[in-house]
Amino acid sequence: MSSVDQQLDELRTEIKSELPSDISVSEVKYEGPELVVYTRDPKEFAQQGDLIRQLASKLRKRITVRPDPDVLAEPRDAREQILSVIPDDAGVSDLDFHKDTGEVVIEAEKPGMVIGRHGSTLREITKEVGWTPEVVRTPPIESSTVSNVRNFLKQERDERRDVLERVGRQIHREEMSDEEYVRITTLGCCREVGRAAFVLSTPETRILIDCGDKPGAEGEVPYLQVPEALGAGASNLDAVVLTHAHLDHSALLPLLFKYGYDGPIYTTEPTRDLMGLLQLDYLDVAAKEGRTPPYDSEMVREAIKHTIPLEYGDVTDIAPDVKLTLHNAGHILGSAVSHFHIGDGLYNVAFSGDIHYDDTRLFNGAVNDFPRVETLVLESTYGGRNDYQTDQDDAEQNLKRVIKETYEKGGKVLIPAFAVGRSQEMMLVLEEAMRSGDIPEMPVHLDGMIWEATAIHTTYPEYLRDELRDRIFHDDENPFLADQFNHIDGGEEERQQVADDGPCIILSTSGMVTGGPIMSWLRHLGSDADSTLTFVGYQAQGTLGRRIQNGWDEIPIDDDDTGRQSTLSLNMDVETVEGFSGHADRQGLENFVKTMNPRPEKVLCVHGDESSTQDLSSALYHDYNMRTFAPKNLETFRFV
Amino acid sequence: MSSVDQQLDELRTEIKSELPSDISVSEVKYEGPELVVYTRDPKEFAQQGDLIRQLASKLRKRITVRPDPDVLAEPRDAREQILSVIPDDAGVSDLDFHKDTGEVVIEAEKPGMVIGRHGSTLREITKEVGWTPEVVRTPPIESSTVSNVRNFLKQERDERRDVLERVGRQIHREEMSDEEYVRITTLGCCREVGRAAFVLSTPETRILIDCGDKPGAEGEVPYLQVPEALGAGASNLDAVVLTHAHLDHSALLPLLFKYGYDGPIYTTEPTRDLMGLLQLDYLDVAAKEGRTPPYDSEMVREAIKHTIPLEYGDVTDIAPDVKLTLHNAGHILGSAVSHFHIGDGLYNVAFSGDIHYDDTRLFNGAVNDFPRVETLVLESTYGGRNDYQTDQDDAEQNLKRVIKETYEKGGKVLIPAFAVGRSQEMMLVLEEAMRSGDIPEMPVHLDGMIWEATAIHTTYPEYLRDELRDRIFHDDENPFLADQFNHIDGGEEERQQVADDGPCIILSTSGMVTGGPIMSWLRHLGSDADSTLTFVGYQAQGTLGRRIQNGWDEIPIDDDDTGRQSTLSLNMDVETVEGFSGHADRQGLENFVKTMNPRPEKVLCVHGDESSTQDLSSALYHDYNMRTFAPKNLETFRFV
């Protein structure tokens, strides 16, 4: 008998002894990090409100109880009973019964009302019908990404369960080594921005954290080919953890599956969906630019199939000697500071991913409070000695000034923006400014992937800033549903119409003017001296956005109809409004470390250019007396 | 056509254009790092004294010229002609003709006389018979190791040539990567003594430096199982370099071949022979102690077959982007400071291996003069703040005092000594002391592997200290042949006889009293209060030697006949004479670095316990303002 089977046998005996005699246990198994307990008495289980919580705390495991399929009410009957238990206001939009696991997935506009106070309504459902309910939110704005992901996972349910069982046995395997070490190998994003990738390794376990590309230098990928990355093959990795969906962290995850990786990706649920959206767009852009993408869309689906979503704060076993906890990072939707607890109190490492330390309109500031942390791996994008940014208030004032001035000239404000994150922040600023009368009411047109990304944001309000989340729970206060927002879904014709109309604001991708609908908007508005092109995000070296910022006014542009290149004379005003970054500035990074609880012993400054990482590293050393490093790529640090 | 074949084609054309028209070139190929040129006109080649040197310098390759087999004189005729060219005094003991390569191996007591001034006699031989002569020394003391290795290599000649051709093509392959980095990964001997192993890696190449075990902790082996050691398999290594034969550097080299490694080991010729001797003994000891050795003797033979011997100072291509040069390290016979020149002027790393900085009786002090060195990996065995040793003069005085006092009591001096290195140093001290009358003439008995190790020393006098080398060239001055030295080859009977006789000195293995004939000597002499047990080498924690040093006088010992354990009351005097270490002491290490030319930018202090490496690292940092490190095992440092 394998050690895992023996462990499950023992757990089953222990669970039985903990349960009242009228509750049976028909099977106990692992699915991913969870322990699943099958019972022929789900109703009795549900009656004892706190039983699962007690078991979980006793066994120190995440526990799910499922009914033995034999004892279930027929879906037809169950459906009626369930709907009679849930208040009508919950807005149930779908019920999906899975006979094999006894789960019923309830999609509702107001999941909270399906759950009830402390889960009371859920328990009521089980008491009535035996089925185990699982609740998901009906997106307030229809999102093809969310519905595609959900349909795909429904369709791949059987295979996914196989994956989860395999992963579960892997996580709970016996520890083989009596050695102890904790190491971090840097595979990318050291003394550079982009291609984030790290390996965290112990004698038992090898975990890849992020696997991105380098924007503007698509050939430069993380050093996956060195042996310390994938060892004797991608299957030597135990787990992948993704801090957030941006491509410089996520673009090459699907490639791992092409290389033969077959293990889990741990990340948040919104990151999973955004990652799918951005990776498919990445393939699309590569194809449009005539590059051969390193993998195809099938691999994106593999990545989604292998994703095990975690909620902020859940402590999860991901290997025999590693527990992972994700915490809000404040950077984009679902972004996570990833905390690893290694061994039984041996060592703790936190990877910041990209962070924003202060609260923004969209997100609470990054979490920096942990039970223990010895080493912090810290982003340094704005770690340079002069990287202090305008604060958000001033930034908003500046933006509003530009809009008012343009409006008064009768012009239009064209804002290139990243689909994920900055666009939604802009929407919140604009909605508030119009509602409070700071700027005149006018249409705000959203072009490119912005609408879709916004829909994903509204699907996961739990990941947004507290106040914003509460507003979204009420349709009439959901700022993203405000009347002035218009999704450009009518192509060139609609753009022409907007261009011919009066003053308005246009948010369009790509954020660095490297392609996408923003090019079309430049053709429409570029010659209009009354309109303003307004940059609100970082323009990287080598992008057209940066060149325009630097004063270029003769822009090479493909003619939409003929594909020929022509030159556009840019007569628009060009403005740059700073202070809307999704990254902490130098002060924010220092504050993150200074107020961190507990203060780490060592800090690795990464994800910034050479001078930023070195500036930040030496400042943290001098000001807080920590051991700090500005690693190069391909180094290995040992901590224990 | 492969890039190597193309390269050889071009070289052939270039060589032809450099040679006079009467010299043909029938084939050009690589064998290991050498370029072999076959010609139908070997005699004409030999006539032009400097031609090969000119070619080598023009092509920047090591060049060997061999006759096309068709044009050779018959061995029967050639033998006579060769013997008529070589002076009788050379003492030719064997001629061995290899038709396939046109080489004749000449074994002679005085190789210098076969070579002639600037190689004139060798050229004369080729002019006469066409064959290419290769000269080896007839060991002045018969060595079964040397003759076994030579016979084995003769027998494996064909297979070895296949290995060399494969390695040659590998070395001269086209560089594939346009990236640049130089990294060192520590696999052992960091913050500890033993299990030396490092990987030096570039985008092209992965080189393992040393692969030892840990004396007294045989289970602790280098971290070969981490992916950065062997990558996807041992065949991912391009080369292995061995700094010297001691088991803490060499014991696990044969294991690589069991793992599938099939590439070269670069080291000196004496290290190759000593390594074979010590590895076979390692297997023997393991078997005697009931441990299962990790490999068998077949793998030792594989290691020898794959060894490409280099001489001190030879700059040798060992990979498309790496040149290796070995330099005298002064530690034991054949020990080498290994200097790596990487890329075309990109970076230089020197691994000290174990060093002795000052001259000893046996060896010149370690070389610390290089064209360039940016990083030095430095042993730190005696790097601690108090690790200053008695100087050699005082050490010798102390030893002589102990011997005289014991002699005057009519007792015997029993010296546990390592077979390789310390024993020969002792022999030189004793021979000199008796010759000069400092101590009385008396027999010096050599037991265990000491005699054999001494024979190997006399086979390679070029590797000994200048004065000693010159003396060995004259039989009547060879100190190792002095009359008082007696090889104990008559077992227990002879030992009993020695024990019954008068005053004498006994050098016996093992050096730390952990087994071997020293145990038998303790049974014979342990109860004799007139005799002295004299330690001249380091006694590691946990060894019987250390315990006796610390005052134990009741010694558990196996009875030789019955195998039962009994207790021996030790009545001998116990003395420790310090100052005979093969390692530089703290002062020597500092002097090595201080006088190093050029001074390196970075120093990694390894091969010493935690405090020694840290003491040395911080001292070098403070005194010489270098970047210094005391790495842990399993770290990776990147230098470019």
A588-625 confidence digits (pLDDT tens): 999 999 999 999 999 999 999 999 999 999 999 999 99
Do the Cβ atoms of A183 and B635 come within 8 Å?
yes
Check B228 against A233: CB less than 8 A apart: no
Query: Taking all residues of chain A, what is their mean pLDDT, rounded to a whole number?
Result: 93
For the beta carbon of residue B371, count every other beta carbon within 10 angstroms: 11
Between residues B218 and A532, the one the model is more confident about? A532
**Is the model more confident about A557 or about A302?**
A302
CATH topology of domain B392-576: Rossmann fold (3.40.50)
**Has A622 been labeled as part of a binding site?**
no
In this complex, how many residue pairs, one in chain A and one in chain B, have their CB atoms less than 8 Å apart? 47
pLDDT given at position B515: 87
Residue type, B566: S
Position A473 pLDDT exceeds 90: no
> B448 — alpha (psi -120 to 50), left (phi > 0) or beta?
left
Tell me which CATH code domain A393-576 carries.
3.40.50.10890
Minimal-distance CA residue of chain B relative to A237: B227
Residues A356, A331: Cα–Cα separation, whole Å = 5
Q: How confident is the model at residue A181 (pLDDT cuts 50, 70, 90)?
A: very high
Helices and strands: H and E segment counts in chain A: 22, 28
Asked if the Cβ–Cβ distance from B634 to A638 is below 8 Å, we say yes
Any residues with CB less than 8 A from the CB of A51 and at least 6 apart, and which?
A19, A45
Output the pLDDT for position B2: 78
| A637 and chain B in contact, CB less than 8 A | yes
Residues B365, A31: Cα–Cα separation, whole Å:
64
Residues of B in contact with A236 (CB under 8 A): 227
Q: How far apart are CA B365 and CA B330, in angstroms?
A: 5
pTM for the full model?
0.91
Quick check: B231 and A232 CB within 8 A? Answer: yes
**CA distance to partner chain A, nearest, from residue B552 (Å):** 34
Instruction: Report pLDDT for B235.
Output: 86
Shortest CA gap A383–chain B (Å)? 23
- pLDDT value at residue A496: 96
Residue type, B130: G
**Dihedral sign, Cα of residue A5, residue A9, residue A10, residue A12:** positive
- Residue A354 labelled as part of a binding site: yes
Q: Which chain B residues are within 8 Å of A638, Cβ to Cβ?
A: 632-635
Q: So what's the pLDDT on residue B476?
A: 79
Chain A: residue whose CA lies nearest to B233: A232
B632 touches chain A (CB under 8 A): yes
In chain A, the largest separation of any two C-alpha atoms, in whole Å, equals 82
Give A557's strand partners.
A566
- Residue stretches of the annotated binding site of B for Zn(2+): 244, 246, 248-249, 331, 354, 607
Tell me whether residues B634 and A633 touch, CB distance under 8 A.
no
Please check the confidence at residue A470 and state whether its pLDDT lies above 80: yes
Q: Is A248 annotated as a binding residue?
A: yes
The answer to whether A232 contacts B228, with C-beta atoms less than 8 Å apart, is no
Mean pLDDT of A368-392: 95
Task: For residue B634, list chain A residues with Cβ-Cβ distance below 8 A.
Answer: 181, 183, 636, 638
Q: Where are the beta strands (DSSP E) in A158-234?
A: 183-188, 197-201, 206-209
- DSSP assigned state of B59: H
The average pLDDT across A123-146 equals 92
| 3-state secondary structure at position A382 | coil
CATH topology of domain B159-172+182-386+583-638: Metallo-beta-lactamase; Chain A (3.60.15)
CB contact under 8 A, A634 and B183: yes
Q: Is the pLDDT of residue A388 over 70?
A: yes
Does A39 touch chain B if contact means CB atoms closer than 8 Å?
no
Domain ranges of chain B: 3-158, 159-172+182-386+583-638, 392-576
CB contact under 8 A, B185 and A634: no
A627: contact with B, CB 8 A cutoff: no
Q: What is the mean pLDDT of residues A482-508?
A: 96
How remote is the C-alpha of B388 from its chain's centroid? 26
**B636 to chain A nearest CA, in Å?**
4
Q: Percent of chain A scored above 70 by pLDDT?
A: 99
Is the distance from CB of A628 to CB of A176 less than 8 angstroms?
Answer: no
CB < 8 Å to B201, chain A: 226
In sequence order, what E strands does B109-220 have? 132-137, 183-188, 197-201, 206-209
Helix (H) or strand (E) holding B8: helix B3-18
**Which residues of chain A make contact with B233, given a CB cutoff of 8 A?**
232
Q: Is the pLDDT of residue A49 over 80?
A: no
CATH of domain A39-150: 3.30.300.20
The answer to whether A326 and A337 have CB atoms below 8 angstroms apart is yes
Q: Are A506 and A496 in contact (CB under 8 A)?
A: no
Q: Residue A398's pLDDT band (boundaries 50, 70, 90)? A: very high
What are the chain B neighbours of A226 within 8 Å (beta carbons)? 201, 228
Task: Determine the residue of chain B that is closest to A177 in CA distance.
Answer: B225
When pLDDT is cut at 50, 70 and 90, the band that residue A359 belongs to is very high
With a pLDDT cut of 90, the percent of chain A lying above it is 81
What is the CA A482 to chain-centroid distance, rounded? 25
Task: For residue A635, give the nearest of B231, B634, B637 by CB distance.
Answer: B637
Instruction: Check CB contact of A638 with chain B, cutoff 8 Å.
Output: yes
Q: What is the reported pLDDT for A2? A: 79
What number of CA atoms fall less than 13 Å from residue A293's CA on the CB side? 23
CA distance B573 to B39: 68
> B636–A236: do the CB atoms touch at under 8 Å?
no
pLDDT at A141 (0 to 100): 92
The Cα-based distances of B87 to B27, B81, B90, B134 in angstroms read: 33, 12, 6, 16
Q: How far is A634 from chain B (nearest CA, A)?
A: 7
A634/B636 Cβ within 8 A: yes
CB distance from B634 to chain A under 8 Å?
yes
- pLDDT in the model for residue A176: 85
Establish if A232 touches chain B: CB-CB under 8 angstroms.
yes
Q: Is B231 at the interface with chain A, CB within 8 A?
A: yes
For residue A177, the model assigns a pLDDT of: 85
Can you list the residues of chain B whose pLDDT is less than 50?
none
In chain B, residues with a C-beta closer than 8 Å to the C-beta of A634 are: 181, 183, 636, 638
Strand ranges inside A112-153, DSSP E? 132-137
ipTM value greater than 0.95: no
Q: Do A226 and B228 touch (CB under 8 A)?
A: yes
Mean pLDDT across A562-575: 88
pLDDT number for residue A436? 96
Kindly tell me if the per-residue pLDDT of A256 is higher than 80: yes
The answer to whether B633 faces chain A, any CB pair under 8 Å, is yes
Topology given in CATH for the domain delimited by A159-386+583-638 = Metallo-beta-lactamase; Chain A (3.60.15)
At B289 the pLDDT is 83
Superfamily of domain B3-158: K homology (KH) domain (3.30.300.20)
| Binary contact (B232, A228; C-beta < 8 A) | no
Closest CA to B624 of B589, B598, B602, B594: B594
Asked if B233 and A236 come within 8 Å (Cβ–Cβ), the reply is no
Give the per-residue pLDDT at A558: 77
- Contact with chain B for residue A227, Cβ under 8 A: yes
Using a CB–CB cutoff of 8 Å, tell me whether A259 touches chain B.
no
Chain centre distance of CA B157: 22
At position B325, the amino acid (one-letter code) is: T
> What pLDDT sits at residue A561?
61
pLDDT confidence of residue A563:
67
Rg (CA), chain A: 26
Query: Does the pLDDT of residue A1 top 70, yes or no?
Result: no
Query: How many other CB atoms are there within 10 angstroms of residue B564's CB atom?
Result: 8
The answer to whether the Cβ–Cβ distance between A181 and B634 falls below 8 Å is yes
Annotated binding residue at A118?
A: no
Set of chain A residues whose Cβ sits within 8 Å of the Cβ of B637: 635
Instruction: Supply the pLDDT for residue B560.
Output: 62
Burial class (CB in 10 A: 0-12, 13-18, 19+), A443: middle
**Half-sphere exposure of residue B458: CA atoms within 13 angstroms, side-chain side:** 28
Whether omega for the bond prior to residue B250 falls within 30 degrees of 0, making it cis, is: no
Residue A476 corresponds to which tokens in the numbers above? 């009439």
What distance in Å separates the CA atoms of residue B138 and residue B106, rounded to the nearest whole number? 9
Strands B34-39 and B62-67: parallel
